[in-house]
Structure 1
Amino acid sequence: AACNDDTILVTSDGGETWTVQTSGSGVDLVGVSVLNDSMVWIAGDDGVIVHTTDGGTTWTEQTSTVTIDFKSIEFQTEQIGWAVGKDGTIIYTDDGGSIWTQQTSNTTEHLYDVSFVDNLNGWVVGYSGVVLHTTDGGVTWTPQTSGVTYNIYRVAAIDATEAWAVGSQSIHTTDGGTIWTEVEVPCTITLWGVDFVNSDLGIAMANGGIVVRYTPVGVAENNESTPVVTLSQNYPNPMRNSTTIFY
């Protein structure tokens, strides 16, 4: 976990205990990307990106080429990663962060989060309902219509077609972002984090320790068979003045 004042919290027991580390950067640290037990990248203010290959025993600062405040960072492999931040900034590396290059976002809104499902398909979200999508690793970023105007702080991509994003409420797509649908959550405060295990299970986090859980609500299938009733010809025919039908 990354915190203010260059503070890094590390756990090796699932969060039972935490150890405090510092990167030596001297800035507030915000976004964390944990690839495995050893490889971690953290992004923060003033364009700072720090990296460890030994689980945090030592941290090395990388040259991001920008000075804006970062908000999020994500690595898909030991080589390929993205970081996003203020003023529409998106940067990309394909060599583990030795060289970072800027990508064109076509927005000046602050960008708050990035989520990829592989090396090609991903989303970026930010202020004023901004949603950007790429299918080529960020060579091109396409704006999508989110249908909302509030700030979107986090996005969780499940696969190349499905993703969730949260802010004052949540939005959801199952078609790659062609259509985003707003989904109400049972609280009235801003959601700051979201993560999905799969399409059927996700959690979102808010201030005050509030955690909301998503599971889809389906209509139970009714397999009860409907009896078939047959009304046959009366016999004899012609019949008497009246007949009785039992059912």
Structure 2
Amino acid sequence: MRVPHLFAHALLLACSVGGPAATAAEATPMPAEIAPRAEQSLLTAITRAGAQRLVAVGARGHILLSDDDGARWRQVASPVSSLLTQVAFLDAQTGWAVGHDATVLKTTDGGETWAIRHFDAAGEALLAVMFLDSRRGLALGAYGTLLTSADGGETWAAAENVLTEEGMHLNAIARLNDGRLLIVGEAGLIATSQDEGQTWERGEFPYEGSLFAVRPYGEHGAIVGGLRGNSFRCADVAAGAWERIETGSEQSVFGIAERGDGYALAGFNASVIGVAADGTARELQLQALENGEAPAGAAAMSIEATAFADLLVLGNGELITVGDAGVRRWAVKP
């Protein structure tokens, strides 16, 4: 099995290395072990399942749930020990997680239990998943892998189009506010679909490095982040007028979340960049929280992590990050 050398979705999606072929033992998925400190292990993605629950996934098939805005976490059983790279929910009950070994897991009870819907030990890593409705979904990943489902993720088929033919890593996908789909990936790859993923059109982009994260921006636009801090926004993706965001940072961006009327960009060196509505950016100063409160005597920023892979912004303005030190909750200093 070939696997990209990742961090946001394994260690670093900046380059790729070959791996050994799958053995017979690897061909059968093994369930994840329940770990005493799973919340402190490598976690790669976090999302909401409805209004009350948070779900995080990561190394060794770990899946964690929180029902108190990230103050406390509990690990639930996972049918695989493969690295999980992304998780997405359609509503409070129905969600999917994807990862290495072409893994697709599905839950219909808010993340309490998960079932394997696709697994191939010789397959490529899946790095992102999105469902357009209760039946139609896409999973994408390394070396141009693009799978589609028309039955709620019960079965999956490989798509064939311009993206799969090129064989580049497909790293992230977003549905823009005008309904178009946007995929970003390796070597400045951006591609849009106006027919909900039936066909794709490559777009021009002013940067040739890898892009790892994308979110909708405005009615027709997007904001993207990538290697060495290169981040851009565009008011109309169809027009293609991408504007560089001067972040003042060379830390690769792996996660983007809406924050007030702007965005927060998370990445290497435990950095979080705040981007205002006018496009100005600054590094956010963070205060570590434990159980929702600052630890006693923690007067200064306390960051043990070396990289953030993803983040969420809570309603009170606090942040939750996942990365190589697990899941962490932060207050943003003025």
Q: TM-score range by the shorter chain?
A: 0.7 to 0.9
Which aligned pairs between 1:106-145 and structure 2 lie closer than 5 A? 106-117=165-176, 121-145=180-204
The sequence identity of aligned pairs, in percent, is 23
1:171 is the counterpart of 2:232 = yes
1:39 aligns to what? 94
- What letter corresponds to residue 244 of structure 2 in structure 1? E
Query: What is the CA RMSD across the aligned residues, in angstroms?
Result: 2.2
Name which of 201, 219, 222 aligns with 2:262.
201
CA positional deviation for 1:34: 2.0
Name which of 183, 187, 206 aligns with 2:249.
187
Measure, in 2, the Cα distance between the counterparts of 1:160 and 1:136: 17
Name which of 75, 84, 89 aligns with 1:29.
84
Question: Which whole-Å deviations, capped at 9, do the CAs of 1:76-127 have from their partners, x for residues lacking one?
Answer: 3222221110111122223210222333224211111111137951111111
Question: Which whole-Å deviations, capped at 9, do the CAs of 1:106-151 have from their partners, x for residues lacking one?
Answer: 4211111111137951111111111111111111111111110111
Contact 2:251 2:271 (8 Å CA) reproduced: no
2:68 aligns to what? 13
Measure, in 2, the Cα distance between the counterparts of 1:129 and 1:54: 37
SS in structure 2 at match of 1:155: strand
2:209 aligns to what? 150
TM-score (norm 1): 0.80
2:16 aligns to what? none
Name which of 47, 62, 69 aligns with 2:125.
69
1:84 is the counterpart of 2:146 = no
Structure 1's unaligned 5+ residue stretches are 219-247
1:55 aligns to what? 110
TM-score (norm 2): 0.60
Structure 2's unaligned 5+ residue stretches are 1-55, 280-334
* Stretch of structure 1 that moved more, 85-94 or 4-13: 85-94
CA positional deviation for 1:161: 1.5
Measure, in 1, the Cα distance between the counterparts of 2:167 and 2:84: 22
For these two proteins, the number of residue pairs brought into alignment is 217
Contact 1:155 1:165 (8 Å CA) reproduced: yes
- What letter corresponds to residue 95 of structure 1 in structure 2? D
Measure, in 2, the Cα distance between the counterparts of 1:138 and 1:119: 14
- What letter corresponds to residue 257 of structure 2 in structure 1? D
CA positional deviation for 1:64: 6.5
Measure, in 1, the Cα distance between the counterparts of 2:214 and 2:167: 19
* Stretch of structure 1 that moved more, 167-176 or 154-163: 154-163
Contact 1:76 1:118 (8 Å CA) reproduced: no
- What letter corresponds to residue 206 of structure 2 in structure 1? G
Q: Check 1:31–1:207 CA distance in 2 against 1; reply closer, same or farther (3 A cut).
A: same
Q: Considering only CA atoms, is the larger Rg found in Structure 1 or Structure 2?
A: 1
Contact 1:83 1:114 (8 Å CA) reproduced: no
Measure, in 2, the Cα distance between the counterparts of 1:171 and 1:146: 10
CA positional deviation for 1:174: 1.4
Contact 2:90 2:134 (8 Å CA) reproduced: yes
Extract structure 1 runs of 4+ deviating beyond 3 A: 117-120
Contact 1:123 1:132 (8 Å CA) reproduced: yes
Contact 1:115 1:157 (8 Å CA) reproduced: yes
Question: Which whole-Å deviations, capped at 9, do the CAs of 1:176-201 have from their partners, x for residues lacking one?
Answer: 24322222213221111112368x31
- What letter corresponds to residue 212 of structure 2 in structure 1? Y
